[in-house]
Structure 1
């Protein structure tokens, strides 16, 4: 939780995927992954990918359907988990075309999150996507979808309970 979230007037901001994010706001976002990776994320936090369309960072989306398209491999979809996240976006840079001068260097210019708006031609699905540099800006708040016979939802609740007790 960041300092601004502790202020009396703080309110969680829900934003449609086609609305431009504002700096220093906390948004609900989603991340689709495998069961095994979700267990690691819940236990140890996110690990930034070293490469991608926007460079190094954790790739998330405000569009739950976008998150539902991951993992990409069809055989991994049987073990799909969608995590609901609370993301402190910090300073946001809009990247809306291929070859943007800050496409992979936005963090070096002081931005915390890179935002690709939907329908701009950057993503094959035409859906919104975000890349968050610092995984400490991301908190898992719920498991939206998990394989029926997995224990990840219960595992998540147990972990959350431990955090509340401490």
Structure 2
């Protein structure tokens, strides 16, 4: 079985085994060719039809390479982004499962599982042109690279090959392929007001958090200042106590020196007095001896 991506026209009304009804003249996207049956995709569903029930869509030479292949796709985003899209069109994204494309689900419900931003669902008529059926994820794919391969868009069938997605999805790389955007203006207005209130609330919460952080920092700074003041006071008190202790030690030493000086002076007076007494005694003894000599 060969994987392809070609447009075929239904030759007559046909009901598939799963109940899918194909009407005569309807254009379907064939993604695989088998010996007896072709596998096709319609509105995100995969079915099979005998190849004899289809005929390849013929293009005139003056038609472009890929005829219009319009699908209805759904894109969910925020109300603010939706207003921007409605005003100035889609812009390719920064990156995803097949690079920076514009992605569309085939049901509103599927957008709930894939949208990066939520709030408003845009219903779009998208010309997917010549569509490449993806067999694996290619996050580096670009629109230019896809054109070199001869395709205008990519398609992920649900639970197909190695992709592992549980819902089908298209991606285009040229915003002009979105032919029409249907939206609920009232829903956008309501969602926009809700988003504005949420943003205002978040901004208020950020402001309060910032104020709380500033109060916390101010409190910490005040606590640090008080701690520093207390430390400075403690050091000043210690220095004062050390100064007083030093002065007290100096006074004690001075008193000890004075005491020793007085003791020394007292000892010197005592010695001088003793020497004086000894001298007088000696003189007295000499006088006595002289008197005795005279008497003899």
Give the TM-score taking structure 1 as reference length: 0.65
SS in 1 for 2:74: strand
Do residues 67 (structure 1) and 120 (structure 2) align?
no
Contact 1:95 1:114 in 2 (8 A): yes
Residues 1:89 and 2:128 are matched in the alignment: yes
Match of 1:136 among 162, 176, 182: 176
Asked if 1 retains the 8 angstrom alpha-carbon contact of 2:104 and 2:170, the reply is yes
What runs of 5+ residues in structure 2 fail to find an aligned partner?
Answer: 1-24, 29-40, 48-56, 58-65, 194-296
Q: Is the 8 A contact 2:156 2:170 kept in 1?
A: yes
Looking at structure 2, the residues matched to 94 and 103 of structure 1 have their Cα atoms a distance apart, in angstroms, of 13
Question: Which of structure 1's runs of 4+ aligned residues deviate more than 4 A?
Answer: 10-14
Q: Indicate conservation of the 8 Å contact 2:97/2:138, yes or no.
A: no
Question: Cα deviation per residue 1:106-146 (whole Å; 9 max; x = unaligned)?
Answer: 3331211100111125255x111111011100034312693
Are 2:44 and 1:44 aligned? no
3-state SS of paired residue (1:69):
helix
Aligned to 1:156: none
2:153–2:171 contact (8 Å) kept in structure 1: yes
Report the secondary structure of 1:110's partner residue. coil
Q: Deviations over 1:36-81 (max 9, x none)?
A: 1100000000000132111122111223211233544xxx64xx10
List gaps (5 residues or longer) in structure 1.
1-9, 153-166
Q: Does 1:111 align with 2:151?
A: yes
Distance in 1, matches of 2:135 and 2:159, equals: 9
Distance in 1 of aligned mates of 2:74 and 2:103: 9
Aligned residues: 135
Q: Higher helix fraction: Structure 1 or Structure 2?
A: 2
Asked if 1:32 is matched to 2:76, the reply is yes
- TM-aligned CA distance change 1:42 to 1:34, over 3 Å: same
TM-score by length of 2: 0.39
Output the CA distance in 2 between the equivalents of 1:47 and 1:27: 19
Tell me which structure has the larger Cα radius of gyration.
2
Other-structure match for 2:43: 16
Equivalent of 2:163, from 122, 125, 140?
122
